[in-house]
Structure 1
Amino acid sequence: MASSVIASRPRARPAHTSGTTKCAYTPDGTKLVTVGSNNTIRVYKTGSDGEPDNVDDCQEQNVAVSTSNKFFVAGSEDGTLAYYSLETNMFDRLLTRTSLPVRDVALSPDDKWCAVASDELTVKLVNMEDTTNLLTLKEHGEQTKHISFDPKGTMLAVSCTNGIIYIYSLTTDHPELIRKVDGVIGRVQTDSEASTKVVWHPDGRAFAVPTPTRDIQVVSKNDWEKQRVFSNGHEGDVTALAWSPNGALLASAGKDRKLLIWSTKDQSVVARYEYPNVVDIAWHPTKNLASFTTSNGEVFISPEFVSEQFASMLKLPRQPAPFIHDPLEGISNGLDRQPLPSRPRAGTPDSFDDLLDDDVVEEDDFVVDDDGAGYALNTGRKRPADDTTDGQPPSKRANYALQLQHHPPFQPGSTPWRGNRKYLCLNLIGFIWTVDQDSHHTVTVEFYDHEFHRDFHFTDTFLYDQACLTNTGSLFSCPPKDDAPAVVFYRPHETWTQRNDWRISLPKGEAVLAMALGENFITVTTTANYVRVYTLFGIPYRVYRPKSSPVVTCAGWNDYIMTIGNGPVGADGMSRLLYSIYNIKRDEICQNEDIVALPDGASLKSVFFSDVGDPCIYDTTGTLLTLLHWRLPSRAYWVPLLSTSLLPRLASGRKKESYFPIAVADNKFHCIILKGGDQYPYFPRPLLSEFEFSIPLSGPPKPKKSKPTNDDDDMMLDQSSDSDGEDDAAGESDKLIQGFMLKSIQASQLDDLLDATQSTASQRALRSRLSLEIDKTLLQLLAVECREGGEERGMRALEVVKLMRDTSGKMIEAAGKIAERYGRTVLGEKIREYGEERVGKQIRSRSDGRMSTHNHRGFGSGDESDF
């Protein structure tokens, strides 16, 4: 912690009569504007110790000011918002008026809009070029004490008297309320000297705000969670806050007569002033200079505001906001785990340049074409002198570097840090979460079924950031730090001997990317591009280097592990993901560096094995896929089981939600529903939801139309009844086709399992039951075809029959009877002919001794003559 010093004392300059006094520097730092209770506004020139310029033609009781380089705006308690020219130092025009006193004003970063807060229940946004263009924010419905734009001007923070901060998005034609930040600021009156103003950090990723406990809380912009706290500095209510221009320091004032300067990095006090009644602070944009005003009408201009010992902090480049876990530093081992956006091809004359980055600085190891000779990249190839890209000759173009975008690594079932909490693991067994307590973490493991396992928690001094959980044990890992290596820790739930926890340290500098905990093995992928496999009791079993790197993630089930890594670069500059599946115990490769089927621009959100051991993935398009025939080398392919974007609950378009994948079990997709724009679950722990599989065959169902209510619509109702009947029939047909396809996928996966292992009686019974259910579904589909379609759909109906798996002929006989029942004579004849031909083929096959070994898969699967 930095030691604080007592700063030198500037002199007081009487500027206004006693009352609220505010100040603001122009963005270029040439002038300081102060407003106060009297009908004079002061404009001080930076660097001049002479008298300020006065603006006398102004309102009294000005309580707020905001500046640009050419003008400033001031708000008064009489409800006026006025525009003043800094070129003439005169009143220019009235922008708007409120019926109650103005409390705060703020200019947008581009100076095109001015926000006005008042004792009214609304906030006004006034266009500076056209004052008739006025937007009103009323969703908060409370009196507003403070307002502030974020540095990009895309958000407006509104601090209300009810103790809630309302965040409006300004990216649409009309501002939209996107967040309520509660539990940070206190309830205050609009005329109170205590501040609840949101002060955005210069990097735009967080803001600081005073709290009722007299601390200063930092809140992140991405998830609106509490981050670092500037604490134990003030003994009275905080009245003013201001970040230094580079965000390295924070100045605060309070009713305890203290004006403090804090170090952003470690939240320590580096300088102290003793001044009563300070109500506003303004940093100069470039100099070691700050000004502050008091409720006595005084202004203090303080050169060398930061002492020489800490003045160098103001010369640093823009510093990051004080996060507990900064997203820019990655979740672990310094890696950025945020998905990289795909880069579409630009269509320039040189197609190779489409994969090049325009924004790379000259420090990259590429040849810089600074002499106009026409050399490009590091290839030794010389461009023609007249070659241009985007209309620029070679000597004028920016430097290029090949933009290779790797898919970032991730741990399935985990979430990023939000504030000081994160989930290390979420699955159907239970969940593991951790709390950062600065010096240590507190890890909690909870189970859904308490009859088998008891919850437990422990103090974590290793600072674990990844975990896995199964019925046999829990697995943890922590990143390397300083001289301490990365550690893998396994804790079994129960053993028949004394429980034997174990830890293994990885080689120095090697960090864990992702882990998998199976029934028999532990898999750890690392930054050294190794896959390390251990037994459940810590015995190293395999160490190998995968072909695709860097590794993205992994999953395990039984003796199988699945690893996914970055492969060759696609046309969009993004690496194609490749997966491999190994049987560790048998030392067999099931699939070797095959492609993960992702659409352009999509990335992977999770990978896991289902409860019966089939690989599944979930991507950012909201699609769940499973892998068929994955035990057969070069035979595997990805099949969609569910597209969450087509769920009926989203058909109306009014719901905005996404889904965090948890597992596939009992032929259902288990997930956590995330409302609004959330991407990850948070605390308190949300409930699990489940969705039936639904292969994406068509769009979401259309919402039902309401019935007519007057007599004139009776005819329309009668005329539409036929189409309604067709819709019902189509819906029934779609449902049966859906069932047929899902059962066929399940049967195919079961067939692969039985072919690869010694089948049990229950598994064989399940296969027979699945085949019977598939045939019953096809019979129901045939009945729909016969009932709703005419003879023109006979070929489609016959095709349904040919998909049946029954080898005894009973199902085909039943199909013929269904056709006769609905008067489909020709179809019935065709079905009988097909049945006789099929029986004949079976007899010939038996007599020749060439009966197919895969007859249990059913007819119509692979025999083109059947169709």
Structure 2
Amino acid sequence: MASGQRIRSRPAHTPGSTYLAYTPNGKQLITVGVDNFCRIFTTGSTDEPVTVDDCQENNTAIVAGNGFFIAGSEDGTVCKYSLETNKLDEILVRTSLPVRDVALSPDGNWVAVASDEIVVKVVNTKDMTQVQYLREQGRAVKHVAFDLSGSRLAVSCTDGNIYMYSLSSEEPNMIKKVGGLIKSLESDAEASAKVLWHPDGRAFGAPTAGRDIQVMSSDWELQRAFKTGHSGDITAAAWSPNGGLLATTSSDLSLCLWDTKTQELVKKLDDLKATVLAMAWHPAENILSYTNNDGELFIHTDIVPAEHVALLAKPVQPAPFLHDPSEGSIGNATKPQNGARIDLPERRHRRARTPDSLDDILGPDDALSEDGLDDFVVDDDGAGYAPAINGNGKRTNDHLNIHSPSGKRRTYTSSYLRPQPHEAFQPGSTPWRGNRRYLCLNLTGFVWTVSQESTHNTVTVEFYDREFHRDFHFTDPFQYDKACLNEHGTLFSCPPSKENNQPAMIYYRPHETWTTRADWRTSLPKGESVTALALSDSYIVALTSSIYVRVYTLYGIPLRVYRQKASPAVTCAAWRDYVLTIGNGPVSSDGTCTLLYTIENVKRDELFQTEDIVALTPGSTLSSVFFSAEGDPYIYDSTGVLLTLLHWRTPGQARWVPLLDTALLPRLAAGGKQESYWPVAVANHRFHCIILKGQEKHPYFPRPILSEFDFQMPITGPKDAEDGERDVDAMDEDSDDEEGGGGSSRKKKEAGDEVTALEHTHILTSTLHTQLLSTLSHTRPTQTQKAALAQLEVTIDRTLLQMLGLECLAGEDRGMKAFEIVKLMRDSNGKMLDLAMKVATRYGREVLREKIAELAERRAVGLDAGDEELE
């Protein structure tokens, strides 16, 4: 419905971007624009507005309190003006780059400043020296918004994420990173990604990439969405003062009013002259004011039609929840102490297409998936979505949940051992949780699917780097259950369907091509299904239920088909020309199957390792397998240990080396934390994962943030620091007299910690050096790789030199260990041995210095200290 007559604008500013704000009491409306003055309009008055001169030009944001207002401009200046004197009060803060948004806390004491700088500044409006800095976001910030309590600030970043900060303590703390909700935008774009806190304080809304307003509760659950139907990006939105109405505007030059409770359209104006950039409801009257990019101000009285005006008179209305958080989730199951499961009656139904009961599948938290969250997926293909899941969900991938009781290995007490093969799984995939699951999660992005009853799924592919790739989604009638994602394309597979007589299929969709149609599908023989998929820059690999390994080129040419020796197949991974496959092998004494792996170069048709053992501890299972960004194989097991495979290009020489034991992380050492880690990738010598709190075993929606940990090889236990004290008890023997026993003990412990740290650095750097050296000896090295290898060698020798200094400091009786450290030095040019002799001389270790000199002479003629048998 269009307006009956055009609303006349009021003169405000020179044509250009214009913004506005009401004072909390509603008596005044202030506007700023591209010119160097501000305008103050009095509500209900037809008089000319008051002009505040000597303002900055190109203003980009404004907020107002009772008695003052604050404006930010492109020159990075944030100024406070008095409404009593109508003059500049003070400059609160400056930024080196243009200001994009400002937000005022409800009490008027703090103003948050978003700019093209990465850091958000929160400045006290009464004392500009009090400043808090929000640093967690990695790119420029477009919008900021305080909640009604003023204790939380939502930061809408240009990377497409919302960073939620708590400001209730002296130091700001980021409490949540919400991804996949807002669109990635340039900081100067007219489109909006601003968080809209609902007046009841328990939820917020935000414009999505699908031009809707998605509501999220304060416990991070997706609630209802306003399907605006705008044909352009949303440029501004605002809740009415009581939250009963929502106003939205778009670049399609339309303005819509929505009933918050029903999400129904109340009124629409589709004859706007220019794009609206800012909107504000009057705090008490039926007035909506807005400014556009043409310098105009519109004060729209009686904006809400008479038949709906009663909505404005009501007290604060609840946010549009699917389920009110204060009432708890509907359908939650409880577990009695005896381990039996109790479900509410609505959960007791049978699935239409599979024999297993939903009661046996759903976890106690699965009420989250029955909330109609499929509104969150953008329906840009016009397929439509079911309003809510009705119980005809998907078969759970219990085989992926290796931590669940059904996934544990069991032994039998019968007269013979029944083999217990390891369950197959797809790396990076999660089991169904209600009607949603992730098909793939890695450093490129993530693929997730939503079940739309029994007819089809909707698949969404999102990328972390949205400047390089565009997100997409599609209706999936084949119901893909496995996926892989990299920089070049997305790979899917679906199981065979007996109902439709449809065979299993593999589908590949490249991200960029120079032809018009490059995606392809291929069907597997009847009765054969895909067990695991892998995708590299060069090949596609599929393990199948017929124990075949099928290798394709990226554009669908079958290249290899052979039967896997280790069976049943478990999983696979690929990187460039290399393929790693894992299957079940011989049965061990407890009835479990030993896992065997094979690595081959597909291009050369060459096997590097064949049917070698995957080193797992008894009782543990394999959680994930992948190649690192540098091209080395890694596995992660159910005990939380990350292992890499050294010397894997040399047949018979491969060995599994632990680079991180998450159970020994310092964050867990103090106790009290209950968390686990879901593996994602290894890149730049860091382990990337998702932290799972409590009893969670898999990540869920909304998409969690990635965490990363440095490698920390398990070489010492938590009590080894005491051993370190004993190792250095000869140091500073006179400390007891000078500082007392406490000082001596403290110095010993510090020295012990330093020794432990150096020992860890040495073994880790040596392992990384071996790993890189093996790679360079079998490939054509780049200059960057050569430089990295040389740097690792320098780090090893420098670490050993530091260890030598500590041993010399410990006393003369540590000479044997000190000389052993020297012999470990690589010292390609002899400089390190010279430095080692200087260290020995400095501490008066003449015997050690002579030994080092002899070693230097032997190395000069091509011998080492351990080559006596050559004499």
TM-score, structure 2 length as denominator? 0.54
Asked if 1:758 corresponds to 2:780, the answer is yes
Match of 2:848 in 1: 827
Match of 2:471 in 1: 455
Asked if 1:718 corresponds to 2:771, the answer is no
Match of 1:208 in 2: 344
Give the C-alpha shift of residue 864 in structure 1: 8.5
Contact 1:339 1:407 in 2 (8 A): no
State how 1:46-65 maps to structure 2 within 5 Å.
Answer: none
Q: Structure 1 331/658 Cα, relative in aligned 2: closer, same or farther at 3 Å?
A: closer
Contact 1:186 1:196 in 2 (8 A): no
SS of residue matched to 1:749: helix
Q: Structure 1 210/578 Cα, relative in aligned 2: closer, same or farther at 3 Å?
A: closer
Match of 1:596 in 2: 614
Between the aligned partners of 1:634 and 1:790, the Cα distance in structure 2 is 43
Match of 2:593 in 1: 575
Match of 2:749 in 1: 727
Between the aligned partners of 2:426 and 2:370, the Cα distance in structure 1 is 29
Give the C-alpha shift of residue 740 in structure 1: 1.3
Contact 2:397 2:432 in 1 (8 A): no
Q: Structure 1 535/206 Cα, relative in aligned 2: closer, same or farther at 3 Å?
A: farther
Asked if 1:476 corresponds to 2:476, the answer is no
State how 1:831-850 maps to structure 2 within 5 Å.
Answer: 831-841=852-862
- The one-letter amino acid of 1:749's match is Q
Between the aligned partners of 2:325 and 2:689, the Cα distance in structure 1 is 38
Between the aligned partners of 1:625 and 1:825, the Cα distance in structure 2 is 43
Contact 1:337 1:408 in 2 (8 A): no
Match of 1:114 in 2: none
Between the aligned partners of 1:219 and 1:630, the Cα distance in structure 2 is 42
Between the aligned partners of 1:658 and 1:203, the Cα distance in structure 2 is 23
Q: Structure 1 715/780 Cα, relative in aligned 2: closer, same or farther at 3 Å?
A: closer
Q: Structure 1 620/863 Cα, relative in aligned 2: closer, same or farther at 3 Å?
A: farther
Give the C-alpha shift of residue 476 in structure 1: 0.5
Match of 1:807 in 2: 828
Contact 1:477 1:489 in 2 (8 A): yes
State how 1:539-688 maps to structure 2 within 5 Å.
Answer: 539-688=557-706
Give the C-alpha shift of residue 228 in structure 1: 9.2
Q: Structure 1 187/219 Cα, relative in aligned 2: closer, same or farther at 3 Å?
A: farther
Contact 1:519 1:557 in 2 (8 A): yes
Correspondent of 2:393 among 305, 324, 339: 324
Between the aligned partners of 1:442 and 1:525, the Cα distance in structure 2 is 25
Give a deviation string over 1:409-468, Cα, whole Å, max 9, x none.
Answer: 000111111111101001010111111111211111111111211111111111011100
Asked if 1:225 corresponds to 2:292, the answer is no
Asked if 1:770 corresponds to 2:792, the answer is yes
Q: Structure 1 188/737 Cα, relative in aligned 2: closer, same or farther at 3 Å?
A: closer
Match of 2:444 in 1: 429
Between the aligned partners of 1:493 and 1:830, the Cα distance in structure 2 is 62
Q: Structure 1 196/798 Cα, relative in aligned 2: closer, same or farther at 3 Å?
A: closer
State how 1:136-175 maps to structure 2 within 5 Å.
Answer: none
Between the aligned partners of 1:199 and 1:727, the Cα distance in structure 2 is 49
Q: Structure 1 501/761 Cα, relative in aligned 2: closer, same or farther at 3 Å?
A: same
Correspondent of 2:714 among 696, 699, 704: 696
Q: Structure 1 185/209 Cα, relative in aligned 2: closer, same or farther at 3 Å?
A: farther
Give the C-alpha shift of residue 745 in structure 1: 1.3
Give a deviation string over 1:466-524, Cα, whole Å, max 9, x none.
Answer: 10000000001111111211111000000122241100111111111111000100000
Contact 2:331 2:344 in 1 (8 A): no
Match of 1:495 in 2: 513
- The one-letter amino acid of 2:425's match is F
Give the C-alpha shift of residue 184 in structure 1: 8.5
Between the aligned partners of 1:632 and 1:672, the Cα distance in structure 2 is 33
Contact 2:331 2:343 in 1 (8 A): no
Give the C-alpha shift of residue 831 in structure 1: 1.1
Contact 2:678 2:698 in 1 (8 A): yes
Between the aligned partners of 2:444 and 2:332, the Cα distance in structure 1 is 44
Between the aligned partners of 1:417 and 1:540, the Cα distance in structure 2 is 31
Contact 2:430 2:437 in 1 (8 A): yes
Give the C-alpha shift of residue 759 in structure 1: 2.8
Between the aligned partners of 1:818 and 1:480, the Cα distance in structure 2 is 70
- The one-letter amino acid of 2:435's match is N
Give a deviation string over 1:199-231, Cα, whole Å, max 9, x none.
Answer: 9899955612679xxxxx989663511399799
Asked if 1:420 corresponds to 2:435, the answer is yes
Between the aligned partners of 2:399 and 2:641, the Cα distance in structure 1 is 26
Between the aligned partners of 1:807 and 1:463, the Cα distance in structure 2 is 59
SS of residue matched to 1:841: coil
Correspondent of 1:440 among 453, 456, 468: 456
Between the aligned partners of 2:518 and 2:617, the Cα distance in structure 1 is 45
Correspondent of 1:526 among 544, 569, 576: 544
Q: Structure 1 186/557 Cα, relative in aligned 2: closer, same or farther at 3 Å?
A: closer
Asked if 1:779 corresponds to 2:815, the answer is no
SS of residue matched to 1:630: coil
SS of residue matched to 1:721: helix
SS of residue matched to 1:640: strand
Match of 2:6 in 1: none
Give the C-alpha shift of residue 739 in structure 1: 1.3
Give the C-alpha shift of residue 785 in structure 1: 1.5
Q: Structure 1 719/227 Cα, relative in aligned 2: closer, same or farther at 3 Å?
A: closer
Between the aligned partners of 2:699 and 2:326, the Cα distance in structure 1 is 32
- The one-letter amino acid of 2:461's match is V
Identity between Structure 1 and Structure 2 (%): 51
Asked if 1:341 corresponds to 2:482, the answer is no
Match of 1:22 in 2: none
Q: Structure 1 459/323 Cα, relative in aligned 2: closer, same or farther at 3 Å?
A: closer
Contact 1:228 1:323 in 2 (8 A): no
State how many pairs are aligned.
512
Give the C-alpha shift of residue 772 in structure 1: 1.7
Give a deviation string over 1:74-97, Cα, whole Å, max 9, x none.
Answer: xxxxxxxxxxxxxxxxxxxxxxxx
SS of residue matched to 2:468: coil
Between the aligned partners of 1:645 and 1:491, the Cα distance in structure 2 is 39
Aligned residues: CA RMSD: 3.8
Between the aligned partners of 1:810 and 1:330, the Cα distance in structure 2 is 56
Give the C-alpha shift of residue 562 in structure 1: 0.1
Match of 1:301 in 2: none
Between the aligned partners of 1:771 and 1:186, the Cα distance in structure 2 is 60
Contact 1:220 1:227 in 2 (8 A): no
Give the C-alpha shift of residue 783 in structure 1: 1.2
For structure 1, the residue ranges without an aligned partner over 5 or more in a row are 1-162, 164-179, 190-194, 212-216, 232-265, 269-321, 344-354, 359-399, 705-713, 843-858
Give a deviation string over 1:4-27, Cα, whole Å, max 9, x none.
Answer: xxxxxxxxxxxxxxxxxxxxxxxx
Between the aligned partners of 1:547 and 1:697, the Cα distance in structure 2 is 36
Between the aligned partners of 1:805 and 1:403, the Cα distance in structure 2 is 52
- The one-letter amino acid of 1:758's match is R
Match of 1:123 in 2: none
Match of 1:796 in 2: 817
State how 1:509-520 maps to structure 2 within 5 Å.
Answer: 509-520=527-538
Between the aligned partners of 2:324 and 2:668, the Cα distance in structure 1 is 38
Rg (Cα) greater in structure: 1
Match of 1:49 in 2: none
Give a deviation string over 1:133-181, Cα, whole Å, max 9, x none.
Answer: xxxxxxxxxxxxxxxxxxxxxxxxxxxxxx9xxxxxxxxxxxxxxxx99
For structure 2, the residue ranges without an aligned partner over 5 or more in a row are 1-201, 203-220, 224-320, 348-357, 373-387, 723-735
Q: Structure 1 524/199 Cα, relative in aligned 2: closer, same or farther at 3 Å?
A: closer
Between the aligned partners of 1:185 and 1:405, the Cα distance in structure 2 is 43
